[in-house]
Chains A and B, each alone.
Chain A
Amino acid sequence: MQYALMIYIEPAYAEGLTDDEREAGYAEYLALADDPRCVASGQLQPAETATSVRVAGGRTLLTDGPFADTKEVLGGFCLVEAADLDEVIEMAARVPAARAGGVVEIRPVVPR
């Protein structure tokens, strides 16, 4: 089964880190991205760069900023292939953001 891991981060968290800690965090993200079960992954630019689009009455409406205005913002994603939910939970628990005030949401992907 395919699952999407949506990684929500607390943006201010990284500011308090030393260079070494930041490096270690990146290394963990890279290890996750290099995991053969990881189909695709990406880190997103900060939430200030977000543009939200909706179409109403044939007009395209743009909003500056992310869709949901919360303390945690979507910071990255990971698409993985796994046998069952427990396997994915284990991968999600390895995401550094999960122990740094952030949260990883797991959603199964509808097969095409």
Chain B
Amino acid sequence: MLEEVFRNEWGRVLASLVGFLGDFDRAEDAAQEAFTIAAERWPESGLPANPGAWLVTTARNRAIDRIRRERTLAEKIHLLPAPEAVMDEFDDTPIKDERLELIFACCHPALPLDGQVALTLRALGGLETADIARAFLVSEETMKRRLTRAKNKIKATGIPFAVPDARLLPDRLDAVLAVVYLIYNEGYRGRVDLGAEAIRLGRVLTALMPDQPEAHGLLALMMIHHARRRARFSGDDLVLLEDQDRSLWDTRQIAAGRAVLDRAIALGGRGAYVVQAAIASLQTRERIDWPQIADLYGRLARLTGSPVIELNRAVALAQAGDPAAALRAVDRLDLDGYLYFHSTRGELLRRLGRDTEAREAYRRALALAASTPERRFLTRRLEDL
């Protein structure tokens, strides 16, 4: 339970400390110290009334102590408020939530993308460096260096700890959402369910920016997808949507995701994440409205200009009962190096009774398949022909 409190408070406490100290490393050390003290005391003394405020005050006091002890930094003391607070006396005024400032700093486009991802998971998600390293299949040493480089760049280049002004906000918010979605798409690895982590981050974002429809759209998309995760594999085998065992779906999470999607739409959201969430939601209906899904993919293709989305639109057309139109749409695409281009063609040709061509397409897909489940899936399709 203590761990749960820590995970929930970490981002807020760290954000407040970065705002106060103006230095990422110092803030992290101080936060770590406060959490360690809490881990020793709370099991005996019980939780304080306001754990977040307790942690921030303790961490601030420790940081001030430490700065004072460091003679070389003596001049910086004057910049700090008088450190008269005693360890056991706490101010009950709520701490200002500065997590948005922290998010925008961590996801600043001047940082390398892998650094943005790692820093967001560490700073906002409160994940340990070792766990992040495992989740991204790199050594702890590599991950530590990646985090250090990102923190150093924030400091050296003066990346602001601030919410961007209205002109910059749309672009910067896109960058933040892209980082969260990237984390989501890394999926489940090691001890860490990155999908669940991304959803946590999405919840923080929508709570802090309740008026941003795309933030709600992304959260809805992730929730609805995540709700189907247990049905997506059978052992190591990939299971297509139409063959999934719906009793494995998390229906409560689907309902919650739909409510978030409704909110996004009510806010006027018509962007890429909202449209994708709408598609994901339709795909979980008892009877799937494929013509509407094809329309939404059309809209998404216009928004993103992505041929992969066009491919998805073609699949929806086929599901809606028109494999010939779907094949015409697919054959217009320039996706020769893409596995799903060939596997989709194979499936459409099979439905149209053109088995020889279907086999050829499946073979080309198989030649591009990198993972064992993909290879097994395609081999089975070939054998069925």
Listed in ascending order, the chain A residues whose CB lies under 8 Å from chain B are 1, 3, 82-86, 88-89, 106, 108
Most buried by B among A82, A85, A108: A85
Q: Could you give 23 example pairs across A and B, Cβ below 8 Å?
A: A1-B158, A3-B158, A82-B158, A83-B158, A83-B160, A84-B158, A84-B159, A84-B160, A85-B110, A85-B157, A85-B158, A85-B159, A85-B160, A86-B159, A86-B160, A86-B162, A86-B164, A86-B168, A88-B158, A89-B110, A106-B157, A108-B156, A108-B158
**Residue B108 lies at the interface, judged by CB distance under 8 Å to chain A:** yes
Considering the complex, which residues of chain B in the window 151-176 have a beta carbon less than 8 Å from any beta carbon of chain A? 156-160, 162, 164, 168
Give the interface SS of chain A, mostly helix, strand, loop or mixed: mixed
CB of A108 within 8 A of CB of B164, answer: no
A108 and B158 CA atoms in complex are apart in Å by 8
Most buried by B among A82, A83, A84: A84
Q: A-B pairs with CB below 8 Å: how many? A: 26
- Closest 5 pairs (CB-CB, A-B): A84-B160, A84-B158, A1-B158, A85-B158, A85-B159
A86 and B154 CA atoms in complex are apart in Å by 12
B contact residues around A3 at 8 Å (CB): 158
A89 and B162 CA atoms in complex are apart in Å by 15
Residue of A nearest to B159 (CB): A85
A contact residues around B164 at 8 Å (CB): 86
Interface residues on B, range: 10 to 19
16 additional contacts (CB under 8 A) given A3-B158, A84-B158, A84-B159: A1-B158, A83-B158, A84-B160, A84-B162, A85-B108, A85-B110, A85-B157, A85-B158, A85-B159, A86-B160, A86-B162, A86-B164, A86-B168, A89-B110, A108-B157, A108-B158
A108 and B152 CA atoms in complex are apart in Å by 12
Residue of A nearest to B164 (CB): A86
Most buried by A among B110, B156, B158: B158
How far, in Å, is B123 (CB) from chain A's closest CB?
18
A89 and B108 CA atoms in complex are apart in Å by 12
B contact residues around A84 at 8 Å (CB): 158-160, 162
How far, in Å, is A21 (CB) from chain B's closest CB?
26
Considering the complex, which residues of chain B in the window 110-163 have a beta carbon less than 8 Å from any beta carbon of chain A? 110, 156-160, 162
How far, in Å, is A1 (CB) from chain B's closest CB?
5
B contact residues around A85 at 8 Å (CB): 108, 110, 157-160
A46 and B302 CA atoms in complex are apart in Å by 43
B contact residues around A86 at 8 Å (CB): 159-160, 162, 164, 168
- Kindly supply a per-residue 1/0 record for chain B positions 92-111, scoring 1 wherever the CB is within 8 Å of any chain A CB and 0 otherwise: 00000000000000001010
B contact residues around A89 at 8 Å (CB): 110
